[in-house]
Amino acid sequence: MEKIGKYKIIELLGKGAMGIVYKALDPDIDREVAIKTIRFDLISDDEEKDELMLRFIREARAAGKLVHPNIITIHDVGKEKDMTYIVMQCIEGPSLQNWIASKKKFSAPHIIKLILQLCDALNFAHQNGIVHRDIKPANILLDDNGKPHICDFGVAHVEMSTITQTGATIGTPSYMSPEQVMGKKIDKRSDVFSLGAILYELLTGRRPFEGESITTVIYKIVNEEAVPCTQIRKEIPQEFEQILKKALSKDPDGRYSSCEEFAADLKKITHFSDETLAMTGISESALTMQAPLKKRKKIFLPLALAGAVIVIGIGGYFLYQKFGNKSSSSEEIKPTLVESALLESRSMNPVLEVLETESDKLVNSFNKGNYAEAVRIAQSILAQDKQNEDALDYLAKARSKLSESQIAKYITAGKRDYDNGNYEQSKVNMEQALKINSKSVEAKRYYNLADKALSEESIRQIVERQSSAQEKKDLLAFLSDIGPDALLAKKRTDAIQLFNNYDNIKSRMSDLAISFIDSNHADVSFSHLLVAVDKKTGNNKVIFEGKKTLTLEKLDNTWKILVYR
């Protein structure tokens, strides 16, 4: 696509169960925006589809009134042909899900700062009568300063209800409240539960309710208590345990009644571990998050050891500053050891970036969609370690993504050519796409549509050429479209007889209809009136009046008449 409404498409950002997200340009004010298209074609019931579309537009407009520094701003919502879309603020940064999956480190103070900002945003929405319903790391975007932005307000309700009704997978329920997974009525306390699940994951490196299948996860959410966070990580301050127990209460009445109340308890925590809380690998089982690279291979060992020495040295200095200097204020939140030395003034960044290796760069490039760069880095790693499983894995995935991108370009160009009536060029583009992926459904569809359009055009030209050749008494042109020798001989005799006995021939054809038997065979019917002047009498005579049917076959990309009826 080149445009959606007035917005000029720049690039594709991602795809979801309900549609596609594009980066686009608002030409009126020269501003980059994100556009999320919403698919309602999954719903077969027209009345239900109309109702959901109206609800989406109503809820998106309501969410558009939410002006908050930690909520993605909605600029516009509209409908173009069969596509409904929402235009919103474009954040150039990863999702919290990406950061969790990348195995970076989070400090307790930063986790609190992050959650407090999210609490403030959700509390603002709740005060304005809007419940998000789908709070999860994938719906939280981090800008360059690590500031979180909640997205998909006004979209989650429609998406989830729509997908559920059509029987498609709704994705991981790991952050849903018990009342939500059971289909009960929900309120703002459901968002509190989801936020509690995110806090638990940031602190422990595990989700509070895990399982090998969605069914298992749902069962645990409804029936089992989460393992206390301090049993997983002993360095986690004890105060978090009671906060999480309340936030993750099965009974909404036992939960925090608001995000404001949730935040108030978080602000009371004054003791922090001296170590950052490193995220462990998160098993996705049947879920859909991108798996991160494993620990770096032996070729990076010298760099890792050097990094460890630096970190230990810096750590000793800051341990002295924390415990040796008694004059520091106990109420002030101190920066964590490695974080202070390496990030300095970037106090709002919730991610601890320590000695990024080639493996880290590979993961980041892939997660950001820089697939060509990911291929280059993977090849560089493999030049030193041919058996590096992670590099081999990411090389294959990045190449696959590049292929998908190339296919998308060919399909986009081919569809544009088809819409503009350039059917031959449309076929060329779709052929290129099919060379990359012979199973591409969309490329096959548009190839066949373009081929059919070209065939219809060729068949119409044949019928018109037959009529014109009769009027001009052009025997060669009349016979040029006939295939079998037997039919050719018969039509040659008929044409010679017509041309020798009549002048002023008028051939009129109407009501042309083409019916394809398959891609290489078609039936053509039309009304035919053939009038001429008899050479002997000089009188006008109707030679033929009625319906005619032809059967044609395509041989070597050329259509020929097989049967005259």
Distance, first Cα to last Cα, the chain: 45
pLDDT > 60? residue 284: no
Instruction: Provide the pLDDT for residue 327.
Output: 36
Could you report the per-residue pLDDT of 292-348, keeping only the tens digit for each? 333 333 333 333 333 443 333 444 433 334 334 433 333 333 333 222 222 232 332
Provide the 8-state DSSP code for 59: H
Could you report the per-residue pLDDT of 85-107, keeping only the tens digit for each? 889 889 878 889 888 887 776 77
Q: Which residues are catalytic?
A: 134
**Beta-ladder partners of 140:** 150
How far is residue 130 from each of residues 36, 116, 178, 510, measured CA to CA in Å?
20, 19, 19, 61
516 compared with 159, residue with greater pLDDT: 516
Q: What is the largest CA-CA distance in the chain?
A: 128
**Beta-ladder partners of 77:** 86
Could you report the per-residue pLDDT of 199-257, keeping only the tens digit for each? 999 999 899 998 877 878 888 999 999 999 999 988 888 899 999 999 999 999 999 99
pLDDT > 90? residue 5: no
Residue (of 367, 360, 394, 399) closest to 378 by Cα position: 394
Instruction: Provide the pLDDT for residue 322.
Output: 39
Query: What torsion do the CA atoms of 265, 192, 236, 319 make, to the nearest 10 degrees?
Result: -60
Residue-range domain boundaries for the chain: 3-278, 298-326+335-393, 406-451, 458-564
Is the Cα dihedral 73, 79, 80, 83 positive or negative? positive
- CATH fourth-level superfamily of 3-278: Transferase(Phosphotransferase) domain 1 (1.10.510.10)
Specify the residue for token string 């042909």: 81
Q: Is 458-564 a domain of CATH 3.10.450.50?
A: yes
Average pLDDT over residues 137-155: 84
Report the range of poorest mean pLDDT among 48-62, 291-305, 386-400, 417-431: 291-305
Query: How confident is residue 17, by pLDDT bands cut at 50, 70 and 90?
Result: low
pLDDT > 60? residue 120: yes
Instruction: Provide the pLDDT for residue 530.
Output: 94
452 compared with 280, residue with greater pLDDT: 452
pLDDT > 70? residue 388: yes
pLDDT > 60? residue 389: yes
Reduce the DSSP state of residue 316 to 3 states and report it.
Answer: helix
Instruction: Provide the pLDDT for residue 44.
Output: 58
Reduce the DSSP state of residue 401 to 3 states and report it.
Answer: helix
pLDDT over 70 percentage in the chain: 77
Query: How confident is residue 423, by pLDDT bands cut at 50, 70 and 90?
Result: very high
Residue (of 148, 150, 146) closest to 133 by Cα position: 150
Q: What are the backbone angles phi and psi of residue 554, rounded to the nearest 5°?
A: -95, 120
Identify whether the C-beta of residue 185 lies closer than 8 Å to the C-beta of residue 202.
no
* Cα separation, 377 vs 355, whole angstroms: 16
Packing angle, helices 239-247 and 259-266, rounded to 10: 170
Strand ranges of the sheet holding 74-80, from the earlier edge strand across to the other edge: 3-4, 7-15, 20-26, 31-38, 83-89, 74-80
* Cα separation, 73 vs 76, whole angstroms: 9
Instruction: Provide the pLDDT for residue 61.
Output: 74
* Cα separation, 285 vs 161, whole angstroms: 24
Instruction: Provide the pLDDT for residue 209.
Output: 93
What is the full DSSP assignment across 195-207? Answer: HHHHHHHHHHSS-
Specify the residue for token string 């300063």: 145
pLDDT > 80? residue 290: no
Residue (of 232, 278, 264, 288) closest to 95 by Cα position: 288
Domains 3-278 and 458-564 share a fold: no
pLDDT over 90 percentage in the chain: 39
286 compared with 358, residue with greater pLDDT: 358
Could you report the per-residue pLDDT of 147-195, keeping only the tens digit for each? 899 987 755 454 444 434 433 334 458 899 999 888 888 899 999 999 9
Identify whether the C-beta of residue 415 lies closer than 8 Å to the C-beta of residue 446.
yes
pLDDT > 80? residue 424: yes
